[in-house]
Structure 1
Amino acid sequence: MKKTAPLFLIDFLKVFAALFIIVHHLSSYGQIAEDARIALPGIMTWLFEYGRYAVQIFLVMAGYLAAQSLSRYANQSFSSQHLLKVIFNRYLRLFAPYAVALLVTMLCAYIARFWVNDEYIGQTETLSQFLAHLFFIQGILGLDSISAGAWYVAIDWQLYTVLAIMLISFPRYQAVIWILSILAVCSLLFFNRSSAYEAYFIYFIGAYGLGVLAYLAKHFQNTDVQRLAKSALIMISVIILISSFEQLWLRNILAWAVALMLFVWGNQTYPPAVGFKKTLLNAIVWASPRSYSAFLIHFAFILLANTLYIACDWYLYKSGLLALTLMLSVVICSTVAANYLYRLIELPVSKLKL
């Protein structure tokens, strides 16, 4: 299926998940987060505890979109050179805005260290640490993350690489569905429940695989592949349900629910609208392609906001309203910066391919 028009659910999930992650990080880092709990204790605690679940939305959607992109190679003969080009082009697309965001975050962290002494800022970055981030191996090497979202970019590239190998290497997608389903079940029931695997794709391939299966079950041109992918989705949902009687894992249920939504409504275009509703939909259309850049750059503004809060002695007032105002300022500044990062870096680089 070729994307001929903006798709509402895809765009909405991108914007919603990015915003949710930003407010989750705002509720997690610095004195601003602590003081905001004075005004909204219940909401801020809930965001701190459950905001990270938005990552499941990113993972399922990333799998869905990756399958959409890679399945066009289904009828082509295997070429290792072609496979490497696909993987490298993905790296290039992720790398450019990511590298710029890392540099901006490092600059903001340098400024923050003059006034703020907190664990989330970390020690001064080393060259080896920065290079490890550029090659997406900082988690594997056990190095501290420069930015709050850097780990996800590394995992996304791992997952895309694994999926590219499977979808381009196997001429029959039935084999891919079986392999992917087994990996997904192992991830959901075992690997995803141990922090020892957090730096590797196997920890996240459960949610990612659900997104892949949702796409293949609805849009792949071979009806046999569609039926098998549907069966795999049903099988995994039953396994998730049965395992929930032993221990309830909300992130697994959320991942399956998002996959189901994408299966049912993933190809729906925007509904007709007028007035305020049209303005809101236009805002989603505008924000969707910029969501990746917003995800990358927002932590820099969290650092700056907390630095300003401490340097100006505003923290002495213990004002929840002031803390919430600064949080809103971070969201606004992140949106503006994401627009420039998208237009000047991400968009031009996305057109560069081997």
Structure 2
Amino acid sequence: MQSKNHFLLVDSFKVFAALLIILHHLSSYGQMAVDARSVLPGLMTWLFEYGRYAVQVFLVMAGYLAAQSLTRFANTQFSSQTLLRVIINRYLRLFAPYIAALVFTIFCAWIARFWVNDEFVGEQETLSQFIAHLFFLQGILGLDSISAGAWYVAIDWQLYSVFAVLLISFSSYQALIWLISIVAVSSLLYFNRSAQYEAYFIYFIGSYGLGVLAYLAKHFADKKIQVLAKFALIAIGLIIAISALHQVWLRNFLAWFVALLLFVWGNTGYPSLLPRGSKVKAYILHSIAWASPLSYCAFLIHFAFILLANTLYIASGMHAHESGLIAISLMLGVVVCSTIAASYLYRWVEIPSAKLKI
């Protein structure tokens, strides 16, 4: 059912977080979201308010997987050429499906502007805006995002690059763990609470760093490093709990809880299924294993289908009925279409582009 690099909890987190982000955006954008709220006010409000917390799951998991990838350089001699190659290869890994989804989103936004007069559609994209997106600079330059998920890809590359520098260049992982812990706490308690840092890695490095510590605490070869990383993970949890006496930040608790789950069960594989085992269980496990590799592409492509669905809803006149049931049906269609499109984007773009390495 799985390859040696796929684990049940990690894959489940990928699928759950991607689906939750899609539902969050469906509850946030367009006339469909307004009408669906009339039928399911509690659910739509919850998705709008708390669905974005799935980003914390993505960040912690990304840090965990980054540490898994980068710690192979722990005992090798530092080479600036190797470091540069790792950072560029990460860019290439993200770029191909990202740019394909971006172009498709621009096309869908162009169609939407004929019928949808809504802020989330945005103004006509400019060449400078598109070029900034190519180099993940749109947030830093203060430009509007072409797609709802574009900002995360830029931040992911920033974070991976920073930790590539740290994990490859540091000869002492003991000092590195102290540095990660200090920076993570600073981010969780200060930088992550100020919107002026949203375009920079420092805003998100707290959650990402928790994922890195979770991996080091369980899988690093040196037992002393494991113990120190465990101590750091527990200490940060206590700091988060103490800080709640002043103000409760649910996303910090969620990030630490996800890191703890990855520490305990992050390397748990898929259970073997006996011939007489539960068909429902087998179906769920196969679905997770199938959907997990598609999660990045689904995250990238779904906003384009939100644009198209809202366009269809308004252009066809269905919005005049103010029917929440029709809106919800279209939302389910967005989820299905995003999944199908993600499977093609994964097979036709992401897999072939994996060969683009230095």
Shift of 1:140: 0.3
Q: Which residue number in structure 2 is paired with residue 221 of structure 1? A: 221
AA matched with 2:163: L
Cα deviation digits, residues 157-213 of structure 1 (max 9, x gap): 000000000000011111111111111000000000000000000000000000000
Q: Is 2:9 aligned against 1:9?
A: yes
The range that moved more, 169-178 or 114-123, is 169-178
Give 3-state SS (helix, strand or coil) of 1:171's partner: coil
Q: Is 2:27 aligned against 1:23?
A: no
CA contact (8 A) 1:214 1:260 kept: yes
Q: Which residue number in structure 2 is paired with residue 92 of structure 1? A: 92
- For 1:170-181, what aligned pairs fall within 5 Å after superposition? 170-181=170-181
Q: Which residue number in structure 2 is paired with residue 158 of structure 1? A: 158
Q: Which residue number in structure 2 is paired with residue 282 of structure 1? A: 286
AA matched with 2:326: L
Q: Which residue number in structure 1 is paired with residue 110 of structure 2? A: 110
User: Partners in 2 of 1:60 and 1:184 — Cα distance?
Assistant: 12
Shift of 1:20: 0.2
Q: Which residue number in structure 1 is paired with residue 345 of structure 2? A: 341
- For 1:62-211, what aligned pairs fall within 5 Å after superposition? 62-211=62-211
Shift of 1:38: 1.2
CA contact (8 A) 1:5 1:269 kept: no
Structure 1 residue runs of 4 or more that deviate by more than 6 Å after TM superposition: none
Q: Is 2:305 aligned against 1:301?
A: yes
Shift of 1:6: 2.5
CA contact (8 A) 1:214 1:263 kept: yes
TM-score by length of 1: 0.98
Give 3-state SS (helix, strand or coil) of 1:4's partner: coil
User: Partners in 2 of 1:272 and 1:319 — Cα distance?
Assistant: 45
User: Partners in 2 of 1:353 and 1:22 — Cα distance?
Assistant: 30
Cα deviation digits, residues 6-36 of structure 1 (max 9, x gap): 2000000000000000000000000000000
Give 3-state SS (helix, strand or coil) of 2:137's partner: coil
User: Partners in 2 of 1:4 and 1:291 — Cα distance?
Assistant: 19
Cα deviation digits, residues 210-263 of structure 1 (max 9, x gap): 000000000000111101101110110010000011100000000000000000
User: Partners in 2 of 1:202 and 1:330 — Cα distance?
Assistant: 33
Shift of 1:56: 0.1
Cα deviation digits, residues 31-61 of structure 1 (max 9, x gap): 0000001110000001000000000000000
The aligned length equals 352
Q: Which residue number in structure 2 is paired with residue 260 of structure 1? A: 260
User: Partners in 1 of 2:316 and 2:62 — Cα distance?
Assistant: 41
User: Partners in 2 of 1:289 and 1:170 — Cα distance?
Assistant: 31
Gaps of 5+ in 2: none
Shift of 1:349: 1.1
Taking every aligned residue pair, what percent have the same amino acid on both sides?
Answer: 70
Gaps of 5+ in 1: none
Give 3-state SS (helix, strand or coil) of 1:125's partner: coil
Identify which of 314, 336, 348 aligns with 1:332.
336
AA matched with 2:145: S
Shift of 1:5: 5.1
CA contact (8 A) 1:191 1:202 kept: yes
CA RMSD of aligned residues (A): 0.8
